[in-house]
Each structure stands twice: as C-alpha cells, then as structure tokens.
Amino acid sequence: MHKENHRFLFLILIPAFILLALFIYFPIFKGILIAFQKYSFYDLSNIHFNGLDNFRAVFTDSNYRFAQIIFNTIVWVFVSLFFQFILGFILALLMRKPFKGRGIYSGLVFYPWALSGFAIGLIWAWIFNGQFGVLNDILLKMNLIESNIGFLSNPKFAMASVIVVNIWYGVPFFAIMLLAALQSVPEELMEAAKIDGAGPIKRLFSIIIPYIKPTIISTTLLRTMWIMNFPDIIYAMTNGGPSNSTNILATQMINKILKFYDYGQGSAIGVIIMFILFTYAIGYLKFTSRKEDFML
C-alpha cells in the first residue's frame, strides 16, 4: 500500500518536472554553456567554445568600468534593501493592532506590490522628469531647490532616484511578510512586559524582534537575491545611464542580450551573478545558521 502510494506520488509529479526540465533546467544548463562560447545572434554560423573569453571581455569592456558596475550593484542592492526593510517594518508595526478600516487601508497601501516593475519605472520617470516632472514643481514651490533638477539625467542623482523607486516598490512586500509574522507574537507576552515596565523600544528589541527573527532572516535573504536580479525599474527609467551611473550587473546583462545580441557575454554576466548569489546565500545562512526555516 505504501509502496503503491509512493508510485502514485511520483506519477503526479511528472508533469511539473517535465516542464521544469524543458523550460528551466535545460535552458539554465545551456545558458551556463553559452557563457563559455562565442555565441552572437549576428553570427550564428560561428558558434564555438572560447574558454574564458566572454568573461575577459565583460571585465575589460571599454563601454564601462566593471568595478563601477559591481559598486553600483552593491549600492543598489543594500541601500534599497535597508530602506525597504526599515520602512516595511515600521508600516507592519503600525498595522499590527486592528483598527477601523484596516482591510481597505492594507489594500491601498500594499497595491504597489501587484504592479510591474517596468510600469512603475515609467510612472516615476515621468514624476522625476527634469522639465515637466511634478517632483521638481513641488520642490520648487516648497523653495527647497532653486531650479529644476535632472534627477535621471544627472549622474549625481540618477542612482538615488532609481533606488527611491525601488524602495517604494519593495515596502509592501516587507510590510506584508512582517505583518503576518507579527500576528504570531503572543499578546500576553507583550502585556506582561508592559506591566513589568518595559517601554515600547525595549519590547521591540527583546520580544518582537527575537520572535520574528526567522521571518526577518528569510525575507531579507530572498529580497537581496531578488533585488539583485531585478533590472526592470532601472531598465525603464535610465537603462543604466547616464554614463553608467545606474548600470548594475542585471541591466548590463539585459543590454548585452537585447541590445547587442551577444548571448555569450550576457550569459557570462549571468554566471557571475549566480556565483555571487550562491556564495552570498551560503554565507548568509551559515552566519545566521537557520537553514531549517527554508526547508519547511
């Protein structure tokens, strides 16, 4: 009976794994191979292995400095993550206790999660527009600036601008996840601490945070990977410019593929991203040592 059951379970797993094999595992395997091949859409008759040439080309490309792209990626990932988390946590704490209209409120404040990164990028590109953008108008009216700022055309402001948009997009995710985790903090424990004289800050650090630590660890890790793999907003707003000031690994990879049709070099960047993320994930999990939170 158990053995028969086992066979049945394998049988119903087959459709999912056939699709995964055809459209995920095989392409990934092929993508890794392509990273070590000369593989350009313009020259499809001449595809061959070329060792580490693609990586060398990516590192020494004269259109950008590779060190700058790595630096941009780090800034993009960690500054976004930091503010997404802090603001999302604050929002979740504000929403922890039920209040009138909380359902509608959460619908209105969480909706950015459901939008596409690309559309969000376009919306904000218009808000940030250097000539007719509404943000410049507001800042001028408040006398905070004296003349229009080219938020997306000035290399000094471009990265900060796209990060602001990414933060706006990511706050609902953290708020949703942390709010759900906060519901598991026992109210009696909070009340007891209150009676013992623990202030709000004390309660936050000695009860709430330890209680939801597994959620904090898993969401921040997953979000780091996701932000790193998320070129949509930058692609819509600046496409890496001006003068590479917002160019991150992911946008550079998209450009290699969609603009230069150089699948070899594009895939090489993909391999670099995967390598970084794997190392990061393993290190992060070792450091926080809570692997089991993911597996269940």
Partner 1 sequence: MKTFLKIGKFVLLALFLFMAIAPLYWVIVTSLKGDREIYSYPIKYWPQSFNLDNYKYLFQISNFGIYFRNSIIVSLVASFGALITSTFSGYALSRFRRKRTKALFLLAMYFTQIIPTYMIMAPLFTIFAGVQQTDSLMALTMVYISVMIAFSTIMGKSFFDRIPIALEEAAMIDGCTKTQTIFKIIIPLSLPGLAAIFSFAFVNIWNELFLAVMLLNSDSKMTIPVALNSFISKAGVSWGVLSAGIVVALLPTMIVFAFAQKYIILGLTAGAVKG
Q: In the window 178-197, what residues touch partner 1 (CB under 8 A)?
A: 180-181
The angle formed by the CA atoms of residues 48, 51 and 55, to the nearest 5 degrees, is 110
Kindly state whether residue 20 participates in binding partner 1, applying the rule CB under 8 A: yes
- Contact window for partner 1 (CB under 8 A) among 59-67, 69-77, 153-161, 218-226: 218-226
| Residue 65: CB minimum distance to partner 1, A | 22
The contact mask relative to partner 1 for 238-267 (x = CB under 8 A, - = no) is ------------x--xx--xx----x--xx
| Residue 197: CB minimum distance to partner 1, A | 15
Q: Nearer to partner 1 by C-beta: 119 or 192?
A: 119
- For the chain, the three-class secondary structure string (H helix, E strand, C coil) is CHHHHHHHHHHHHHHHHHHHHHHHHHHHHHHHHHCCEECEHHHCCCCEECCCHHHHHHHHCCCCCHHHHHHHHHHHHHHHHHHHHHHHHHHHHHCCCCCCCHHHHHHHHHHHHHCCHHHHHHHHHHHCCCCCCHHHHHHHHCCCCCCCCCCCCCHHHHHHHHHHHHHHHHHHHHHHHHHHHHCCCCHHHHHHHHHCCCCHHHHHHHHHHHHCHHHHHHHHHHHHHHHHCCCHHHHHHCCCCCCCCCCCHHHHHHHHHHCCCEHHHHHHHHHHHHHHHHHHHHHHHHHHCCCHHHHC
Q: Nearer to partner 1 by C-beta: 15 or 98?
A: 15
**Peptide bond before residue 112 is cis, with ω within 30 degrees of 0:** no
- Contact window for partner 1 (CB under 8 A) among 60-68, 155-163, 171-179, 191-199: 171-179
| Residue 243: CB minimum distance to partner 1, A | 20
The contact mask relative to partner 1 for 223-242 (x = CB under 8 A, - = no) is --xx--x-xx--xx------
Kindly state whether residue 163 participates in binding partner 1, applying the rule CB under 8 A: no
Near partner 1 in 70-109, by CB under 8 A: 87, 90-91, 94-95, 105-109
User: Binder to partner 1 among 145, 278, 279, 290 (CB under 8 A)?
Assistant: 278
Near partner 1 in 117-156, by CB under 8 A: 117-120, 122-124, 126-127, 129, 132, 134, 137
Near partner 1 in 36-55, by CB under 8 A: 39
| Residue 284: CB minimum distance to partner 1, A | 12
User: Binder to partner 1 among 69, 81, 162, 176 (CB under 8 A)?
Assistant: 176
- Pick from 131, 135, 132: nearest CA to 164: 135
Kindly state whether residue 273 participates in binding partner 1, applying the rule CB under 8 A: yes
